[in-house]
Structure formats: C-alpha cells, structure tokens
Structure 1
Amino acid sequence: MREHLELGHAEPVPISDVDKHVSEVFYLPMHIVYKSSSTTTKVRAVFDASAKSSTGIFLNDTSLVGSTVHSQLLDVLVTFRFFRIPLVTDVSKMYRTVELNLGDRNLHCFVWKSKRSDTVQDYRMTRLTFGVSASCFAANMSVMQIAMDYESEYPMAAKMAYES
C-alpha cells in the first residue's frame, strides 16, 4: 500500500467526500496476501469488488464490463511462438497506468493503516483497480485508443497493438 500511495495510485479521501451518500461511495474489501516464494512481489493487496456491501450490491455488479478487446489466450500462445523476441508485461502494472476519472474514485475506496498503532484512514484508488471487472476492458481500450491516436506517427507500433 505504501507503494500505491507513494506513486499516487491511491490517495486519502478528501474531507468533502467522507460523508457522501451510500449511493456515491463504495468501499472495496481488501486484504494482504503474503507469498514468500515470489521473486517479485512478496506482499500484495487484493481488492474484492465482488463482495456485497451493506445494501446487498457489489461494485462488479454495477460496473459496465465492456466487450473483450484482447486476444484469446490460445491466439496469444500461438503468436508468441512466431517471434524471436517476445515482450511480456505485468497486467497489474498495466492497470495502474490508467487513471480513474475523479467521479469514479469514490467507488474505489478502502481503509488502511500502516502500523497496528496507527488509526484507520480512508483512501481511494486513483488508478484502475485489479479485481474490478471493468478494469480489463478499460486498460485494453486505453491501449487501443493510444494506438489510434498515434498511428500516423508510429504505424508499426499501432499495428502490433491492434494485433495483440
């Protein structure tokens, strides 16, 4: 969580937004996963946008998921074998490059304290959240939009984005 805050991917909930109506705010249940065998991320936060709120509604139920804009896994695996140098990335980092609209941030709130002795504070994500069903579509559409916006300057890169 410290990394999210330091990079600006999460922020304290502004005082003006703390007492918003229940229909304007959603607190994502979150827990920490420890994986000592991991070589990259031993500790990570997991958000559960499928957990029901006190109203019986969950964020993934109200989000527009969008259509599938990325290639099917089998197509990716077959294409992967055609090139001498493959490129790979971490999808959670991809999500965190896409900024949430200000109006959507209050739907990605969570509570956190760094140390047991600290008081719990309200935060909200400023970037797409891994675990929210709409994030996949939004991240992939961002790539497609960038490819369209810069296609005339970088035609080969745009072609690769369209084909991936």
Structure 2
Amino acid sequence: MYMDFMNEYLSPTNNEIPKFPHYFIPHQCVLRPQSTSTKLRVVFDASCKMPTQVSLNAILMVGPTIQEELFSTLLRFRTRKYAITANIAKMYRQFLIAEEHSIYQLIVWRQNSSQPLQYFRLNTVTYGTSPAPFSAIRCLKMLGDISKDSYPTGSKIVHNDFYVDDLLTGADEIETLKTIQYEIAEVLKQGGFQLAKWYSNHPELHNAESTEKSIKLDDSDSTKTLGICWQTKEDTFSFNLEDAFHDLRATKLNILSVSARLFDPFFLLCPIVTKAKILLQELWIAKLDWDESIPLRLDTCWQNFKANLSQLSEIKIPIFVETNSKAKIQIHEFADAWMRAYGCCIYIRSQSTAGIKSFKN
C-alpha cells in the first residue's frame, strides 16, 4: 500500500541534490485498520528541522481561515429536512503548486532496499505543510466563483457547506436536494474532482450499502475512541465507541489520551467531558508522573468515567431540528456554577399552528 501510494504521488527528478535552496520532507506510513476506505496514510513531516535548525513550516505562512466554523456548518446541516453528505476523493492531490515551488517538496524514496536512493518531487498541495488547508480551500472557493453563473446553487454550496473536503448540506424539498446533488457534482467536475461516499436520509440519493455514516471531519486520532455516527435510515446521531480504552492502566498519560480523543462537535457530551477535565485537574494538582499509578480516590472517578462512556452507544439524538420563522419563540435559560465548572442549558419553546413544542439545545 505504501508503494502504491507513492507511485501515484511522485514526480521524477534528475536525481541530483540541487545547489540552490531546497527542502527534503521526511515521510512515513500510518496504518489505520479501523478506516473503511484508506487503511494506510502516508504522513509528510514538513516541521522537521534541517541542519540549519529551520523547517519548511517555520518559514511558510499558514494563511487565514476562510471557511465557517465547524459548529456553524453542523448546525445548518441539522435544520434541513433532507440531508446529504459526500467527500471529495483525494482532495489535496487535485491541486498543483507552482512549478518553481516544488523544489521545497523533495522526498527520498526507493521501492526496495536493493535499489539506490532516489529523489522525487511532490507537485501537488501536500498534507503536512502549513498552508495546505488554506491553499486547497482557496482553490475550491475559486472554482465556486467560476461557476456562479452556470450553476448558482452548486456555487453557493461550495462556498457555504464544505468543511475542507466534506460536504454537509441539505434542503427542505427533495427536488431542491436533487438539484444540489447534480449541480455540486457538475461544479467540481470542472476542476477534475470526484465526489464519493454519498449519504442521505432520503433513499433515492443514498448510493452507499451502509446506512451508517461516520462523522469524522479530520484525520486526527480524536475519532479513534469516540466518534459520531449518522444513522441515515433513522435520521439520528449515535456515538460509536471503541472499547480499546477499557484495559488501559489508570495513569495520567492514559487518562489524558482517552480524554483528548472525545469527538463532540455538537457539545452534547459536556457533562461527561467536564468530568474528564476535572479529573485531569486533580491529576495535575497531585503532581503525578505520566506513568505513575493514580490514588484510589481518583481511580474511582476514572472507573465511573469509563462506565459513562460505555453507555453512550445507547443514546440516539434526532438530527433534524424543525424551525418555523413565523412561530412565536420563547427562550428559557438556566445556568449554575461551582468552583470547578459552570454550565448553561437553553430551552426553546415554539408556538405555531400545530401547537406548542419544546426543543432542548
């Protein structure tokens, strides 16, 4: 898999080290057996320092944030009666960088140990360089600008309903949803992109065998322990839990590792996450070493925390939050605080012709 990836990715050079400024990016493979599509990912480390003690990322500008926050995108996703998601296949590799800049994306590679080392260039936006997200997203938005006259609906979706390479959108009418699906595919096709892994809560637009869509909006380890799944048939969210943490020894390092992996973009698990943070505070106050066994009092808290995580898979949360701009709305807020934490709960009371409804956010 490593060789297949590199054969698809590399561009040859004259196999000579340049005499002018350049940069070699170290790389390694990371196995992800839990992934349904990409079992192996090659990671490029542009933060590695050269003998000059300077890395490529240290001298590159990151670029501004030009996409909406994930929370806003997800909230908008929940207000559509019919929802649809998709993913741009191999997004970063679809964008070329300027030819004169590829000299800063050199790598060393050979197919097997019997061959001499060879030098190659990476000619596309490379995951692991600081400006990669901005560069790719900026090009995607430019593609939306180019298509705003021919595909106005698709152009608007490109600008508003993508989070990096993940499409999260929807509509209140099925015909509008079909228009979105057609136009967004046509817009991206002009740039050579292919949308894959279509999921929808409407059966006509769902072309995947599974009715469960994992909400994993990055490739970090944050989704390894607790991820969110969209049950498209039921149109509910559930929490997908791996049991690997149950046998972990109770140490500060392991507790921090599990707590950091909680992926909760909707802030639905704040009571549990807050308890994890309080436990971590106690561990720091106790000044324990990373691999030192924790006191019995704190171990009891840790066992309770794991028990709560084990029950999360039983929770089902409806995705669709119906809104009516003509309805009268009342907002009721409750807040409380203590020495370690504070919290707030907001209830929306909606009165329409159908009666009074209560929603909890």
1:4 and 1:106 map into 2 onto residues whose CA distance is: 20
Length-normalised TM-score, structure 2: 0.41
Of 66, 75, 94, the match for 1:78: 75
Q: How far 1:116 sits from its partner (Å)?
A: 2.6
For 1:133, what is the secondary structure of its paired residue? coil
Q: Map Cα deviations across residues 81-134 of structure 1 (whole Å, 9 max, x no partner).
A: 23323223258x111110111111111111112223222211111111011111
Taking structure 1 as the reference length, the TM-score comes to 0.86
Asked if structure 2 preserves the Cα contact closer than 8 Å seen for 1:5 and 1:11, the reply is: no
Change (3 A) 1:119 1:36: farther
> Which residue does the alignment assign to 1:133?
130
Rate the CA distance shift 1:90–1:154 in 2: closer, same or farther, 3 A: closer
1:103, 1:128 → 2: CA distance?
Answer: 13
Aligned to 2:159: 162
Which residue is equivalent to 1:33? Answer: 30
> 2:336 aligns to what?
none
Q: What is the deviation of 1:19?
A: 3.3
Pick the aligned partner of 1:19 from 17, 20, 24.
17
Report the 3-state secondary structure (helix = DSSP H, G, I; strand = E; otherwise coil) of the residue aligned with 1:137: helix
**Which has the larger Rg?**
2
Partner of 1:124: 121
**Aligned counterparts of 1:80 and 1:53: Cα–Cα separation in 2:** 44
Which structure 1 residue ranges, 4+ long, deviate > 3 Å from structure 2?
Answer: 1-7
Q: String of CA shifts for 1:2-56, please: whole Å, max 9, x gaps.
A: 444544x3211235xx332352x11011111123333222222110111111111
Provide the rounded CA distance (Å) in 1 between the counterparts of 2:51 and 2:20: 9
Check the 8 A contact 1:49/1:131 in 2, yes or no. Answer: yes
Percent identity for Structure 1 against Structure 2: 26
The letter of the residue matching 1:58 is S
Q: 8 Å contact 1:49–1:58 — kept in the other structure?
A: yes
Give yes or no for contact 1:112–1:123 (8 Å, CA) kept in 2. Answer: yes
Q: Going by fraction, where is strand more abundant, 1 or 2?
A: 2
Unaligned runs of 5+ in 1: none
Equivalent position of 1:52 in the other structure? 49
Alpha-carbon RMSD across the aligned residues, in angstroms, is 2.0
